[in-house]
Amino acid sequence: MLIRLTVGIAASIIVAGCSPRQETQKAPEAAEAKTYKSIPAPTRDGVAMHIAEPDNGKDVPVVVDTTIQVDLIGVPTAGYMWSVVETPAFLEAAGDTSGPTSEAQFAPGFAGGSHWEVFFFKVIGPGEGVLRLENRPLMDEESPADEVFSVRITAG
């Protein structure tokens, strides 16, 4: 009986080894990486000048009776926001807005990411002074700023 069982098992192994191979399923091709376009900072009609990160630390001339905007990138989803901490007397705050920096932020399942933080100012008269913004945690106004953006504005 043991011999028959052994012969039967051996025969099964040989038959299995001689049968045509089944094709194994190929792994699906790696999905093409999607490329997403950058989105420019939101703006309003009538803005005469955009001031942005490359202007940090520079002197910026502006024209009286125009509207300017400051375009900065922050991560408000991580609790960090830009805020205006110093404004020359000849600049009048004219609102703010924000928006995504990449089309990827509209993709299903996307969470977090960088956002534009945009500040508008009306230039109401001539003058010279510093416009300073700081990026810090919303819940910790006492801690030092994570980032500082500052320009010297000359309005004429």
CATH architecture, domain defined by 47-155 = Sandwich (2.60)
Give how far Cα 53 sits from Cα of 20, 24, 133, Å: 66, 54, 11
Domain ranges across the chain: 47-155
3-class SS of residue 39: coil
pTM score, two decimals?
A: 0.75
Quick one: the chain helix, strand, coil %, rounded to 5?
15, 40, 40
CB 41 within 8 A of CB 50: yes
pLDDT tens digits for 4-27? 444 444 444 444 454 444 444 554
Over the stretch 84-108, which tens digit does the pLDDT of each residue have?
A: 999 999 999 999 999 999 998 888 8
